[in-house]
Amino acid sequence: MLERVLKEIEQRDHFVLTSHARPDGDAIGSVLACGAILRQMGKSAEVVLHDPVPTIYQPLPFANQAQKSEAVNGKYEAAIVLECDSVQRTRLAGLDRQFLINIDHHASGKPYGNVNWIEPSACATAEMIYWLARAAGVQVTPEIATCLYTAVLTDTGSFCFLGTNERTFALAQELVHAGADPARIAQSVYFANPTSKMRLLGQALTTLHRDGSLAWMHVTNKQMEIAEAREEDCEGLVNYALAIEGVEVALFFREQEPGKWRISLRSKGTVNVAEVAESFGGGGHHAASGCLLEGSLNTVTERVTNRLKLAAPSKEGVDKIIHWRT
């Protein structure tokens, strides 16, 4: 399928690139790198996102070229949608009228495009963009390497998520050889948080609950106001609950509007939270997924926690954890 994607790109000159709303590190790093790769190929490539580039990713090369918009308005020959399981999740009007090239690494990825390259074995969509660059004969510059390394670092949970293997580290090594600075990137991502995020973390931790190997917390719109937080400040908060000894699955409930909640699910590997999220209309990775639910906080919490209590531990996760612990 890589060859088909490259062929479609070579046959066209004008592209728009995008990803899901509220973009994370893999979305931002992949879309910025892909745009740079296409421009090296002599193509016109514009990055258009529904939401701004999050603060921690603004120092990335090419980040200032990303456009924030509600719609795709230019005259393009194709749209490349990265790390996104549906056109609707981009929240960009007009995208469905484009010739769509869908590039995603999620096991829950859906073939909604005219061309669909879905590769669950990749540690991040950024890995697929690296393959694209190599296949196209494009030089992976230090700027492209920095974007891709940032994406890999964040989407593997700092190389902690299940599925991280020797190929992941080989990719990281190649990106460092190409000019990515791992220490500087890690400091930019993990040690440059705004004060508002720390205030929001404090608010969230006051709601922490635990039931055996399951932990969860939430933030309401009122708590967001108290912390003077932005939407991007919610990213990664769920990992503080997952960090508790003995907790295998953590949940983070974020109020979107009254009666509507976005839920982030994280696992240390024994439970496939992507399957749980999919049962509620969401999706994601084996160890990191999400979904949207309507109802009161108590009702939504009960639905998700009850579903998780029924989830059978993943054989892959159990086998790897037993091997590691012994």
Per-residue model confidence as pLDDT tens digits over 270-315? 899 999 999 999 988 888 899 999 999 999 999 999 999 887 665 5
For residues 216 and 112, state if they share a domain.
Answer: no
At 132, is the pLDDT very low, low, confident or very high (cuts 50, 70, 90)?
very high
- Give me 106's structure tokens: 């999620």
Q: Percent of the chain, pLDDT > 90?
A: 85
Residues 81 and 219 in one domain: no
Domain count, the chain: 2
Q: What is the mean pLDDT of residues 100-110?
A: 90
Domain-located, residue 12 = yes
- The pLDDT-based confidence of 71 (bands split at 50, 70, 90) is very high
DSSP assignment of 114-173, as one string? SEEEE-TTSSSHHHHHHHHHHHHT----HHHHHHHHHHHHHHTTTTTSTT--HHHHHHHH
Inform me whether the pLDDT recorded for 114 exceeds 80: yes
Report pLDDT for 288.
87
> Could you tell me if 161 and 199 lie in one domain?
no
111 in a domain, yes or no? Answer: yes
211 shares its domain with 288: yes
Asked whether residue 180 falls in the same domain as residue 278, the answer is no
pLDDT value of position 109: 83
Q: What is the pLDDT of residues 15-40, one digit of tens each?
A: 999 999 999 999 999 999 999 999 99
- Which of 165, 190, 215 is at the close of a domain? 190
What CATH number should be reported for the domain holding residue 45?
3.90.1640.10
Query: Is residue 145 in some structural domain?
Result: yes
With respect to residue 326, please indicate whether it lies within any of the assigned structural domains.
no
Domain residue limits at 315: 195-320
| Assigned domain for 104 exists | yes
Domain boundary (190, 216, 246) is at 190
Entry pTM = 0.87
Confidence grade of residue 162 (pLDDT, cut at 50, 70, 90): confident
Q: What is the pLDDT of residue 203?
A: 97
Out of 148-152, 214-218, 231-235, pick the least confident.
231-235
| Helix axes of 142-155 and 125-136: crossing angle, nearest 10 degrees | 150
Task: Tell how many helices (H) and how many strands (E) occur in the chain.
Answer: 12, 12
Q: Is the pLDDT of residue 326 over 80?
A: no
What is the band of 317 on the pLDDT scale with cuts at 50, 70, 90? very low
Q: Are residues 16 and 164 in the same domain?
A: yes
- The answer on 117 and 10 residing in a single domain is yes
Q: Which residues contact 50 (CB under 8 A, 6 or more apart)?
A: 18, 21, 68, 69, 70, 90, 91, 92
Q: How far apart are the C-alpha atoms of 45 and 29, rounded to whole Å?
A: 15
CA angle centred on 161, ends 318 and 183, rounded to 5°? 150
**pLDDT at 108 (0 to 100):** 78
Average pLDDT, the chain: 92
- pLDDT value, residue 312: 62
Residue 257: strand pairing partners: 260
Q: For the residues 189-200, what does the mean pLDDT come to?
A: 94
Are 184 and 199 members of one domain? Answer: no
Residue 209: which CATH number?
3.10.310.30
Same domain, 165 and 287: no
Task: Return the amino acid letter for 86.
Answer: S
Residue 249 domain-assigned? Answer: yes
Confidence of residue 160 (pLDDT cuts 50, 70, 90): confident
Same domain flag for 158 and 209 = no
Is residue 325 situated within a structural domain?
no
Same domain, 6 and 146: yes
99 vs 326: which has the higher pLDDT: 99
Q: How confident is the model at residue 91 (pLDDT cuts 50, 70, 90)?
A: very high
Note whether residue 185 is domain-resident.
yes
Do 255 and 304 lie in a common domain?
Answer: yes
- What pLDDT is stored for residue 316 in this prediction? 52
Last residue of a domain, one of 152, 174, 190: 190
